[in-house]
A and B are shown apart, each in its own frame.
Chain A
Amino acid sequence: MTFGPWLLVAAPALTAAACGLGRTPAGIHRAGLAGSVVTLAATLALTAKAAATGAVSSPGFHMDALSAFVAVVVSLLSAAASASSFAFVEHDAGEVGFGINSWRVYYGLLHLFTAAMLFVTVTSNLGFMWIAVEATTLSSAFLVGFHRRRDSIEAAWKYVILCSVGIAFALLGTVILYEAGLRAGNGHGLDWTSFAALAPRMDPGLVRLAFLFAAIGYGTKAGLAPMHTWLPDAHSQAPSPVSALLSGALLKCSIYAVLRFHIVASGCLGPGFSSKFFLGFGLASLLVAVPFILAQRNFKRLLAYSSIEHVGIISVGFGFGGVWGTYGALLHMLNHALAKSLLFLSAGNISLRYGSKRLHHVEGALAVLPATGPLFLAAALALAGVPPFSLFVSEFMIVVSGFQSGHLLASVVFLAAVALAFAGILYHSGTVAMGVPRKTLAPAEPNPASLAPMALLLLGLLALGVWMPGPLDAILRQCAAIVQGGSHG
């Protein structure tokens, strides 16, 4: 095995090209699916190698356990989204009437978007990381606006404008960090590997400023409140498989970018400074999201606000720190990715069948969609944090670490917010699943191709709730050590 981490960018980029040149919808779909499976296989192979040897490197790329972990989340969800997309594109292409070009654009952009996200995770250069994060925005802009309805275009506009402005500040943070590195004798490099080693000798004032700008910038992209305002629009207007990727994978990539700065900042300033950032913005996100979850009328927006809540949970976990807080937050990144993508995919099937995203139009999904209905309900239970699903485990770890580390007030606020969100999610998803349908719809599945990937996602959620596989545990421990600055490269 002689390929390097660059393959994780090249494979989806080639897939995108193949999809862009495809001749028939079915051919494009098959090419996309095959490409995403190859990407997933390559990610897993490289992850195994990185976990065994500490890191896989090639010029310009560096993949340690943390990169590998986030890359696995991205490739996994990209494969699931790719497998489930056909029915959604068919629906929208029929609505707009652009023929084969809708398929080329949709699948091409979907895989380009995947390539950009994987580039974020495997590049060793903070400048390229920024370029890749901006590329994720640009490649997904037309996916968000794919429906070409008024709401979708409004959402796409806000998405591009707000995220581009936000991450402009992340680039300023990168430039300031570069300046700090220059003064500490780093030469002309922008590699995070060298910054991590250099951290103790850098100017604390500059590093503080660099972290703040970078964290606010990438935090905008991660949907941390109060920079989250674009998120509910973009995530609710995108076609459902794209929403699954935006919520499940892209938010994690953005958190990953903040973590790279967090590692440098804690190396220079001690863990206290950047942890306070995570804690503050995490709690703010929880508090902002909960009222909107309780009072929501559109179920894709409900899921979007729940993403803000879960980004808040992850952020609070990193804020609490320690082995368990960090480990729990990392595990929660994976768990939320599985649960939220499953929910978006099943919610997409439901809205295809009902032709509406309004909560009061959509009732009785258990009867109307015999397979998607139960999957939706199970995913909602998992997302709310009901045992035996794995989100319960990670949330529990985070709370315990909060009390252990003496963050009493923050832990209580955290518990209260999670409990309220629990009530909101269960109430709304309960009516969607079990209410009485307003109009009589015959039981049918609008998107049978999505059922197998959805079942696998659910299986993952259940399995991780009761059993932690050895290799995953090993990787998570390595990641936690990296985030806490124990080791790198």
Chain B
Amino acid sequence: MIGVQGWLPQAVSFLTALALVSAFAALSFRTLHLVVRAYAAQSVLLGLAALAVGLHKPAWHITALALLTIGFKGFGIPWFLFKVMEDVKIRREAAPFIGYPASLLGGVGLTLVSYAAVRPVMTDSFAGRGLALGLTIMLLGLWLMVGRKKAVTQVVGLLIVDNGLFVAALSTSFSMPMIVELGLLFDLLVGVTVLGLLIFRIQSTFASIDTDRLTRLRG
């Protein structure tokens, strides 16, 4: 990897490994509040990893991006989700389709799959690890979406998928043009707002936000 040496790879690996742990935590928690907090913790960890990259280079735009990430994903979006949950007065269980032990085991399986998919083509260890880890976190987010009924959990799953992308971008040291990164963040904020509004509409028309009620359209 271009320009990565010294303490940085260790720091980034440590923080992103903790982010992986928080993805598993989101899969195992039984209340919606804890699932959202797991996402918030994961976002802060990834923001810190980006901050480490930014300070190490040093590059002000990565530092700024890291601070924006911690602010929006670590605090702003979780706050918004808590507010949505409060306003639609949802019950607190995360309501699984797939049981918790099965969902953790599935998560381990997905981790192995994504490493097997990415490892053979990655010769460089830092970027290779980053991409494999990013794909793992994306698949775990997807797995969370598949396995839970509540609309809010599906949004959190989507956000974890997005964090996985963040890890993948991190592995290229955020050398992508800054404006693209800002655009991605903007898209994410609009997306969360749209989904939040849709949750209100689901609540007001279905009197429930269990997505297993959303089965009228078939065939």
Residues of A within 8 A of B (CB): 125, 127-128, 130-131, 134-135, 138, 141-142, 145, 148-151, 153-158, 160-161, 164-165, 168-169, 171-172, 175-176, 178-179, 182, 188-190, 203, 205-206, 208-209, 232-233, 236-237, 292, 295-297, 301
Contact = CB atoms under 8 A, between A and B. Distances in A.
Contacts of B101: none
Contacts of B184: 127, 130-131, 171
A292 B198 contact: no
Contact of A145 (B172, B187, B201): B201
A359 to B, nearest CB: 12
B168 interface: yes
Nearest to A188: B175
A209 B169 contact: no
Contact of B214 (A149, A154, A175): A154
Contacts of B120: 205
B17 interface: no
B201 A148 contact: yes
6 contacts: A134-B187, A145-B198, A168-B165, A178-B176, A203-B121, A206-B121
Interface string B131-148: 100110010001001000
B42 to A, nearest CB: 16
B176 A127 contact: yes
Interface string B194-219: 11011001100110000100111101
Nearest to B128: A179
Nearest to A126: B180
Contacts of A164: 158, 191
Contacts of B113: none
B180 A292 contact: no
B127 interface: yes
A149 B217 CA distance: 12
Given A164-B158, A232-B217, 14 more contacts: A127-B176, A127-B184, A131-B183, A131-B184, A138-B190, A154-B216, A158-B217, A165-B161, A168-B138, A168-B161, A175-B176, A188-B176, A209-B118, A233-B217
A140 to B, nearest CB: 10
Contacts of A168: 138, 158, 161-162, 164-165
Nearest to A237: B217
B206 A150 contact: yes
A151 B176 CA distance: 40
Interface residues of B, number: 48
B219 A161 contact: no
Contact of B187 (A138, A153, A301): A138
A175 B180 contact: no
A293 to B, nearest CB: 11
B216 A150 contact: yes
Nearest to B124: A183
B216 A151 contact: yes
Given A160-B194, A179-B131, A209-B118, A169 B138 contact: yes
B211 A157 contact: yes
A172 B165 contact: yes
A295 B211 CA distance: 27
Contacts of A156: 198
B141 to A, nearest CB: 8
B6 interface: no
Contact of A155 (B168, B172, B217): B217
A127 B177 contact: yes
Given A127-B183, A164-B191, A172-B138, A182 B175 contact: yes
A208 B217 contact: no
Nearest to B175: A188
A216 B107 CA distance: 21
B63 interface: no
Nearest to B219: A292
A233 B23 CA distance: 31
Contacts of B205: 148-150, 153
B154 interface: yes
B41 interface: no
Contacts of A232: 217
A159 to B, nearest CB: 10
Give 10 closest A-B pairs by Cβ, nearest first. A205-B121, A127-B180, A131-B183, A154-B214, A233-B217, A134-B187, A175-B168, A168-B161, A153-B201, A179-B172
A157 B198 contact: yes
Interface in B90-132: 117-118, 120-122, 127, 131
Contacts of A189: 177
A161 B129 CA distance: 28
Given A172-B138, A188-B175, A190-B177, A165 B145 contact: yes
Contacts of B121: 203, 205-206, 208-209
Contact of B158 (A151, A155, A161, A209): A161
A157 B202 contact: yes
Contact of A142 (B122, B151, B194): B194
Contacts of B195: 160-161
Contacts of A160: 191, 194-195, 198
Contact of B127 (A131, A145, A179): A179
Contacts of A179: 127, 131, 171-172
